[in-house]
Chain A
């Protein structure tokens, strides 16, 4: 169900950023969630093993989805269930409306089902004159408010108790005080009547078991099991992605879903319903008699079966809808699910939206993913959410092309090193009126929002490429020949970092060469989904580095390193000759700290020092979760003369830069940066060390405005001080 309305994302973002209730609720939740989750897993010995087994089970299920769906249908049918396979929302609605009409259904009690939200089922039922009530408290409240759920597990997290009380008063036609237990009791009384009077109960399903045709429902309130018990007709709406082969397989889901969703070891209720069950009704004489309930399963396709066959998108079947990916997402926790989401929220929501609701809705929200991969660390099914979003973006660009302005820049500027570098040199002069030292503090007119809480970096007067000749030393009998890839930020914004890297390497008896034909690694265009331009850039870089025939390729930027190490290989999957060339170089890729730490260890240079200057370290997302490098920098800092290393809170949380995101969505990037700056300040550090020049740019800008006494340095700069 693709939405027809054009979204004004800027306006939506602004509204949410000004929504104090939302901001407060989300930031408190972001604080509390990781602690609650960690506690819930305390008595799980091998969480990673559990995730692997669950993931494998789902992969096997998707590979055999048709047989498993057939088995589920056969077993349910054997037990008296009527099974209908709906190819889309329209087919489902027609089936359901026909059923309501033939059975004289007037009142429907629903328990939470995202699949029915996805196809906007309630509107259709209400338009047909049916009385429909959501019975999950949060869903009931947003139903009164006329809102969409802003979180998959806590749909009303965006509302305050005061707002809730107003909606209660409106619905119950009486004054309801702002008292949560009282409100909950009122809802109990009101909704109890809905259960008792309903002719039909509609539930979703957290899983469907092929082995015996059962469905599983997971709730805390206990509404789902009442919906399956009191009404004479029970309709289950279940997406194909919820199918699992055996009863035992449900143990994986129940071991992780409650813990990941709400930090509970188990929800209050886990309910398994299988086949026709008895219910009691009064007969014509007013006597209670037992009858057989009518049960319908509607298996909803709506794009799922196509996704199941897609080599990449099928990974989305690993989702258990725990929403933990939202809970740790730096963007979600600033703007919430109404901005970052369509019906399903957050990163996983963007992916589900792409195949359940259509690419147009996906294109509205996919840019909200900043690729920090915090969600990948925590997802029970280990879904590579940012990776799938990248893939979908690339497909969207292939189909619809890039926006015109971006296309012009990418194809004519970024793909041509000389043009690009000339522009950067010109910018270094053009920025002068606004520049103050290394940063730009103020921008004129409409651009001023970009520099409000953060100074922007100034382009250096002399790029690194013009300084290399001065810093390069002739090394006698070098241990290795090292080729340095600087990346745009080190080359043009932080040339001192490049100098420091070269000095440290030369001190280790490395011969350092800098191929002048190197350009941008291509990540910015690849991140926007433009793989053709990305390929062009990659080829020029590969040629440049082949010429110097080095033993090692060194990177001072983890994003560039990862692009060379991983992305180039996937780009050339269909060009074997280039793939072979890319692979040969990829084997030589080493991130700076990764390369020098073992060499320092071998020289006995890693003894702990306690210096006068406190230094803390910020993990770049791509460094920590992309390359898996985070111990090395800490070892190096611990051993740095003149410094005392201290950890800060949430060291591995994104700083909000995330490539172009920090510039394009400045308004979202700033609150994320503010958290980072606060954590740096609270650590007591006078120096914040980073391993990534993009983070350096962002953090430097934030410190300049918010904590000018704290300095930011690349790890290499701190090391170079001690040579």
Chain B
């Protein structure tokens, strides 16, 4: 799977990425309608996802495997709930349009704005974040920078080609009478599971 950078963490500017920014990040993310879960261990993510899928009566999930997604055991749990789960590029391409949930992992958060930065070089990682009505992401809670400036500092280090960007809450519009309305073309729900634990192999 193509990625803008195999290991973003290696390129974090020294002293500028820290859990100390998490509290502000959490507040700002909630302000824009992001559903935020802060957990100690990655396995807690499994329960959160399972619960969301159950409440939503989800039938189909598309997911991009990662150290976090794998270690959470969430996909196995969803299969146990008789939910179809797709993780291969071709399967995702086939099913993403009708999937209820997309699951992926993001690289870092920005406290100033409550944004997260994702690596979207591969087709499958992009569509998982764009097309289903609900998008869940894992984020290491200590991978947060203070501001937009620092966010672009990381991008300056890693972004040579491909596709990346920030996501800040759900898709929204105010084009009709300036009334804020959620969920136009992108997901109407955006969920962040921020994990304190750094499982082995997570970038």
Contacts and interface: CB of A to CB of B under 8 A. Distances in A.
B90 A247 contact: no
Nearest to B151: A251
Interface in B86-115: 89-90, 93-94, 97, 110, 112-115
A138 B175 CA distance: 5
16 contacts: A25-B178, A141-B175, A180-B179, A212-B159, A220-B174, A221-B171, A222-B187, A223-B184, A229-B130, A251-B148, A262-B174, A269-B167, A270-B165, A278-B122, A280-B124, A288-B94
Contact of B171 (A220, A255, A287): A220
A164 to B, nearest CB: 5
A248 B152 contact: yes
A28 B174 CA distance: 14
- Please list the 7 inter-chain residue pairs (A to B) with the smallest Cβ-Cβ separation, ordered nearest first: A222-B186, A138-B175, A266-B113, A288-B90, A280-B93, A251-B152, A221-B184
Interface in B113-162: 113-115, 120-124, 126-127, 130-131, 147-149, 151-153, 155-156, 159-162
| Chain A contact surface mostly | mixed
A269 to B, nearest CB: 6
Nearest to B110: A266
Task: Name which of A154, A212, A255, A272 has the most chain B CB atoms within 10 A of its CB.
Answer: A272
Contacts of B166: 254, 266, 269-270
Contacts of B110: 266
Interface string B177-199: 11101011111000000000000
Interface string A276-295: 01111000000111100000
Contacts of B94: 288
B46 interface: no
B127 A222 contact: no
Contacts of A226: 130-131, 185-186
A232 to B, nearest CB: 11
A270 to B, nearest CB: 4
Given A269-B186, A278-B122, A279-B123, A29 B178 contact: yes
A136 B185 CA distance: 9
A590 interface: no
A154 B148 contact: no
Given A135-B185, A222-B130, A268-B167, A154 B175 contact: yes
Most buried by A among B2, B148, B149: B148
Contact of B181 (A155, A181, A246, A289): A181
A212 B172 CA distance: 30
Interface in A228-267: 228-230, 246-248, 250-251, 254-255, 262, 264-267
Contact of A184 (B121, B162, B167, B176): B176
B163 A220 contact: no
B128 to A, nearest CB: 11
B181 A184 contact: yes
Contacts of B183: 184-185, 188
A192 B185 contact: yes
A285 to B, nearest CB: 12
Given A265-B113, A279-B123, 19 more contacts: A29-B178, A138-B176, A161-B176, A187-B184, A192-B97, A220-B171, A222-B184, A226-B185, A228-B163, A247-B156, A248-B152, A251-B151, A251-B152, A266-B166, A267-B168, A268-B170, A269-B166, A274-B161, A277-B121
B31 to A, nearest CB: 8
A272 B127 contact: no
B123 A277 contact: yes
A160 interface: yes
Nearest to A293: B123
Contacts of A266: 32, 110, 113-115, 148, 166, 168
A5 interface: no
A21 B62 CA distance: 44
A150 to B, nearest CB: 12
Nearest to A221: B184
Contacts of A183: 176
B168 A268 contact: yes
Contact of B152 (A230, A254, A278): A254
Contacts of B90: 280, 287-289
Contact of B97 (A156, A196, A228, A265): A196
Contacts of A196: 97
